[in-house]
A and B are shown apart, each in its own frame.
Chain A
Amino acid sequence: MAREGSHLLSTDLELVKRARAGDSSAFHVLVDRHAGFLFALAYSLCGNVADAEDMVQEAFSGAFRGLGAFEGRASVKTWLARILVRQVARHFRSARRRKAGFVPIEEAADTQASAASPHAAADARIDVTAAIRSLGPEHQEVIVLRELQGLSYEEIAEVLDIPRGTVESRLFRARRALQERLKEYVNS
């Protein structure tokens, strides 16, 4: 957008400060910078383009309303990711109340396809996606943030507001669960 031209060289932190001072165009630059990352994260967590769009929109709106609460201890990227992950968690809590939450573990176990089939690569992608979705929210979050978004342990700790050691142990357990569900691919 042309109105944000003067902000393009600013750091995220400078943009947050300007947005807090009333310059909403600075926040629009943050939207341009981080929308792709947040959309990929939201999609990886919920598996649906429309829901992912809704959640990213809510996350940006929430961040804009909560600009005053940003303390600058974490990076703007991890602050936005934290808002989004909470948004997704809220979405799934209400979805579970409507009996439509995460894919049950049994369902994921049934999705294991043979790695030797003609469509093995496509089957594997489908099965891996189903296996990730079958994890509990805590394990799904760390796997997505680490494996798909490439965040460091420190960044994941900031996003999820948990100690670094907890990130390490959750990742270990989440990978163990995925290995078990995807053993036909992993052990080959």
Chain B
Amino acid sequence: MTECNEAERLSAYHDGALSEPSRIALEEHLKGCPTCAAELARLARLSQLIQSTSRPEMPPQALGRFHRAIDLQPRITAMHVAEVFTAVAASILVFSSVCLWKMSTARADTAQIPVWETVAVAPQDPSGVAAQEQLARWIVQDLSGKNGHD
């Protein structure tokens, strides 16, 4: 088959998909080009053949099946999104409350530790003499209740 330069546009012409100027130009070309005229006839026969193929009707039970599948889907709606956000916000609130409560409890426990116990585990100076004196002073003060502890 000898190929004409216009052959590629015949498919779009056959579908009525060419612009008006292109359509007019191609119709002028067709008047003097038997190769393209024959190709256009073949395209028409091909379309007839394709459209003659039998296709089954949708089974009657299929529609019910599609509807049931939709009913089983989780509902992703604006209301659903709002519910999710509310649940997340409530979770954050509860978690924050628990953390705050734990922090305040820990602070109270720290306040009950006698000062001398804190000093006893603090780093010592290299000579050690001054630190030992300081530690002894804190122990005496704690035991006599001068630091405000029982």
A: residues with CB less than 8 A from B are: 1, 20-22, 24, 27-28, 31-32, 35-36, 39-40, 43-44, 49, 53, 56-57, 60-61, 64-65, 67-68, 121, 124-125, 128-129, 132, 143, 146-148, 152-153, 168-169, 171-172, 175, 178-179, 182, 185-188
- Residue contact A172 to B73, C-beta cutoff 8 Å: no
- Residue contact A124 to B66, C-beta cutoff 8 Å: no
Residues of A within 8 A of B54 (CB): 125
In the assembly, what is the distance between CA of A143 and CA of B43, in Å?
12
- Residue contact A182 to B55, C-beta cutoff 8 Å: no
Chain B contributes a number of interface residues (CB within 8 A of A) equal to 36
B: residues with CB less than 8 A from A are: 8, 11-12, 15, 17, 42-43, 45-47, 49-56, 58-59, 62-63, 65-67, 69-71, 73-80
- Residue contact A22 to B73, C-beta cutoff 8 Å: no
In the assembly, what is the distance between CA of A32 and CA of B46, in Å?
32
Q: Looking at A21, A64, A171, which has the most chain B CB atoms within 10 Å of its CB? A: A64
Cβ-defined partner of B53 (8 Å) among A20, A125, A187: A125
Residue in chain A with minimal CB distance to B52: A125
In the assembly, what is the distance between CA of A184 and CA of B47, in Å?
15
Residue pairs across A and B with Cβ atoms less than 8 A apart, 16 shown, are A31-B63, A31-B70, A32-B63, A43-B56, A44-B55, A53-B62, A61-B69, A128-B50, A148-B55, A153-B15, A168-B11, A171-B12, A175-B43, A182-B46, A185-B49, A186-B45
Residues of B within 8 A of A146 (CB): 15
- Residue contact B75 to A147, C-beta cutoff 8 Å: no
Residues of A within 8 A of B42 (CB): 179, 186-187
In the assembly, what is the distance between CA of A24 and CA of B81, in Å?
15
